[in-house]
């Protein structure tokens, strides 16, 4: 059973493509990747932040666990939404093809938050005539899922406390227009998580990233991870992507989602501890330590 | 109680009652001429915009507003700036009384400081003014802008609004300007922010 990661690369010339990748040094290197559309060259991608960081973390973690590598569906998009639009259109069609039959789960990441594109994918998933795969959403696609009103169809969202305030604010269309966004802290997580769940704007599980990572099930906090405490991880671009990549790896390996959330939070902190970053460290420096930082399932 | 019923209905599979209707925003201008000019320029630039009557809470300017795709706020503002058009307000259609996040969170990391605006963070080395990290955001232009900004000097780096498209990019623009202001106010490093 395969897991599919969907996201973008910050390069408008990068072709829409799907397949498996390996990590070599600071690069994500295509291994068995097919271009979806006109023939084009698929270049290696630097692991700097965003979906390449998430994918690299998932690839390395599954390699260490001996699991099947994830498939990755990537589009080039520097923010115009054109690449994301191509990905939405391709994925909603592909999900109805026999090629998607063995899909165990999907992780959605940096995509332009289009409610229309989101709804087409969700509809395609629900019309397959098979059980809906596990669904994890982070970043722009999580925003789209909330805005669509169908957040509760998802298994896991991975917000920080500010993004949780966005989920909890029924009227907010984006974190930029969220009441109390920067005032939300770890202490507010239980109340905000309950509000988001009561509005139907939360996934079944939340992995809320912060000084204390909290796992929430149906609006109630059910787990906390606070050690080791590494304040320098917050400014490093890509540490949230690292957490979501690890969550994807554990879920793909068959770990139940609640436990996968806890293990991902623990493993990201352990990886950070081994990396010993400063606020100027790049996320690529974390990658060699992922295997050694993995927490073990019970 | 109503919220709980709404949430229960959504979880049961009922269609979202208000569908969070809304990737759209209102551009509010002082004068009707600005509305017409903004509509024309934005349409020419390829944005799906419409002129409409404002909701009651926005009737402070002229009697028309321009609706636009809210998540492309940064790109829309860039077109308007090129025409020297300055909206009185930009608000979401879903909540015209919602205001953009205006606070900044500044965190002191010793040799570095981090500025957060909404969901985006930028970190600067105090001694040199070098941008060392950009994190957060959810739209695809944040990783792109981060690749342009990291390693640049906060004094001379191109502002995110020049290449950005989305609301996340607009938040990054705010954080960038605040980081630059803090660095300049500290006389080039030493004790800014914190």
The answer to the question of residue B191 being in a domain is no
Identify whether B14 is part of a domain: no
Whole-prediction pTM: 0.89
**Confidence class of residue A74 from pLDDT cuts 50, 70 and 90?**
very high
What's the gap in Å between the CA of A5 and the closest CA on chain B?
15
Compute the distance between CA of residue B184 and CA of residue A98 in angstroms, rounded to an integer: 59
Is there a single domain that holds both residue B121 and residue B86?
Answer: no
Res. B194: pLDDT tops 60 = no
**Same domain flag for B71 and B114:** no
* Separation of alpha carbons A91 and A177, rounded Å: 29
Residue B93 pLDDT class (50, 70, 90 cuts): confident
Task: Classify residue B61: in a domain, yes or no.
Answer: yes
- The verdict on B140 and B181 lying in the same domain is yes
Of the three residues B57, B92, B127, the one that is the final residue of a domain is B92
User: B171 with B90: CB under 8 angstroms?
Assistant: no
* pLDDT bracket for residue B22 (50, 70, 90): very low
Look up the domain containing B171 and give its range: 104-185
Q: pLDDT band at residue B52, thresholds of 50, 70 and 90?
A: confident
Q: Which helix (H) or strand (E) holds A24?
A: strand A17-24
Query: Within this chain, do residues B28 and B79 fall inside the same structural domain, yes or no?
Result: yes
Give the span between the Cα atoms of B63 and B35, in whole angstroms: 10
What does the CA dihedral A168, A173, A177, A178 come to, rounded to 10 degrees?
0
Please indicate whether residue A76 or residue B35 has the higher confidence score (pLDDT): A76
Closest residue of chain A to B174, computed from CA coordinates:
A176
**Last residue within a domain, chosen from B92, B124, B143:** B92
| B166, part of any domain | yes
Q: Which domains does chain A have, with CATH numbers?
A: 2-289 (3.40.1190.20)
Average model confidence (pLDDT) for chain A? 95
Do B56 and B32 have their domain in common? Answer: yes
- Residue B15 pLDDT exceeds 80: no
Beta strands in chain B (DSSP E): 24-28, 50-52, 65-69, 89-92, 104-108, 112-117, 120-125, 131-136
Residue B132 lies in a domain: yes
On the question of pLDDT at B2 being above 90, the answer is no
- The CA distance from A66 to the nearest CA of chain B, in Å, is 30
Q: Is residue B113 part of a domain?
A: yes
Final residue in a domain of this structure, among B61, B92, B123: B92
One domain for residues B110 and B181: yes
Whether the predicted pLDDT of A279 surpasses 90: yes
Rounded to 5°, the CA angle B21-A8-A51 comes to: 105
Residues B127 and B176 in one domain: yes
Decide if pLDDT at B20 tops 60: no
Instruction: Note whether B75 and B123 are same-domain residues.
Output: no
Within an 8 Å CB–CB cutoff, is residue B20 touching chain A? yes
Q: Domain with B36 in it: what CATH number?
A: 3.30.70
The pLDDT value given to residue B31: 84
- In angstroms, the CA B158 to CA A58 distance is 33
Tell whether B129 lies on the interface with A, counting CB pairs under 8 A.
no
Do B181 and B117 share a structural domain? yes
Distance, CA of A190 to CA of B102 (rounded, Å): 25
* One domain, residues B113 and B87: no
Q: How many domains does chain B have?
A: 2
Instruction: Please tell me if residue B67 touches chain A, with a CB cutoff of 8 Å.
Output: no
Burial (CB < 10 A; 0-12, 13-18, 19+), residue B57, is exposed
Residues B159, B162: Cα–Cα separation, whole Å: 6
Domain assignment present for residue B52? The answer is yes
Q: Span A183-194, mean pLDDT?
A: 86
B101-158 pLDDT, tens digit per residue, is 777 899 999 999 999 998 999 999 999 999 999 999 999 999 999 999 999 999 999 9
| Burial of A1: CB neighbours in 10 Å, binned 0-12, 13-18, 19+ | exposed
Write out pLDDT tens, residues A86-141: 999 999 999 999 999 999 999 999 999 999 999 999 999 999 888 999 999 999 99
Residue B55, pLDDT score: 78
The whole-number average pLDDT for the span A230-246 is 96
Residues in chain A within 8 Å Cβ distance of B8: 200
Task: Report yes or no on B192 lying in a domain.
Answer: no
Q: Is B71 found in the same domain as B34? A: yes
Residue contact B109–A148, C-beta within 8 A: no
Are B53 and B125 within one domain? no
pLDDT at B171 (0 to 100): 92
Model confidence over A168-187: pLDDT tens digits?
A: 998 888 888 887 776 767 78
Enter the ipTM.
0.94
- Cβ of A49 within 8 Å of Cβ of B146? The answer is yes
Contact with chain B for residue A283, Cβ under 8 A: no
Angle between helices A189-199 and A161-168 (to 10 degrees): 40
Q: Any CB–CB contact under 8 A between A243 and chain B?
A: no
Backbone angles phi, psi at A20, to 5 degrees: -105, 150
């Amino acid at each position: 059973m395969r897991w599919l990661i969907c996201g973008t690369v910050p390069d408008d010339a990068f072709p829409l493509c799907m397949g498996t990748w390996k990590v070599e040094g600071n690069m994500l290197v295509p291994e068995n990747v097919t271009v979806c559309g006109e023939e084009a060259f698929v270049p290696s991608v630097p692991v700097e932040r965003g979906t390449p960081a998430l994918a690299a973390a998932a690839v390395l973690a599954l390699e260490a666990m001996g699991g099947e590598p994830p498939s990755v569906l990537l589009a080039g998009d520097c923010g115009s939404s054109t690449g994301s639009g191509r990905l939405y259109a391709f994925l909603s069609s592909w999900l109805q093809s026999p090629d998607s039959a063995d899909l165990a789960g999907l992780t959605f990441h940096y995509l332009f938050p289009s409610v229309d594109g989101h709804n087409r994918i969700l509809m395609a998933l629900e019309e397959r005539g098979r059980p809906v795969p596990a669904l994890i959403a982070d970043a722009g696609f999580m925003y789209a899922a909330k805005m669509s009103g169908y957040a509760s169809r998802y298994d896991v969202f991975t917000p920080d406390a500010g993004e949780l305030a966005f989920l909890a604010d029924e009227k907010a269309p984006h974190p930029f227009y969220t009441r109390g966004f920067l005032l939300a802290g770890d202490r507010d997580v239980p109340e905000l998580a309950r509000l988001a769940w009561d509005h139907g704007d939360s996934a079944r599980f939340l992995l809320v990233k912060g000084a204390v990572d909290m796992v929430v099930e149906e609006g109630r906090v059910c787990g906390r991870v606070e050690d080791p405490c590494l304040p320098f991880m917050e400014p490093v671009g890509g540490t949230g992507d690292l957490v979501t990549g690890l969550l994807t790896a554990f879920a793909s390996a068959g770990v139940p989602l609640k436990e996968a959330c806890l293990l991902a939070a623990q493993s990201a902190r352990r990886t950070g501890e081994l990396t010993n970053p400063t606020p100027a460290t790049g996320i690529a420096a974390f990658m060699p330590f992922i295997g050694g930082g993995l927490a073990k399932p019970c | 109680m109503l919220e709980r019923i709404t949430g229960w209905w959504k979880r049961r599979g009922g269609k979202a009652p208000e569908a969070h209707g809304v990737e759209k925003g209102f551009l509010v201008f002082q004068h009707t001429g600005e509305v017409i000019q903004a509509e024309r320029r934005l349409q020419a630039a390829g944005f799906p915009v419409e002129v409409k009557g404002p909701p009651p809470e926005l009737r402070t300017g002229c009697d028309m507003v321009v609706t636009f795709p809210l998540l492309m706020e940064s790109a829309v503002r860039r077109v308007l700036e090129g025409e020297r058009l300055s909206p009185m307000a930009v608000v979401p259609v879903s909540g015209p009384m919602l205001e953009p996040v205006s606070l900044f969170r500044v965190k002191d990391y010793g040799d570095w400081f981090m500025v957060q605006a909404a969901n985006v963070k930028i970190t600067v080395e105090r001694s040199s003014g070098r941008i060392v990290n950009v994190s957060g955001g959810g739209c695809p232009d944040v990783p792109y802008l981060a690749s342009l900004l990291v390693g640049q000097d906060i004094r001379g780096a191109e502002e995110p609004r020049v290449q950005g498209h989305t609301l996340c990019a607009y938040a990054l623009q705010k954080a960038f300007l605040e980081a630059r202001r803090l660095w300049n106010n500290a006389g080039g490093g030493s004790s800014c922010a914190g």
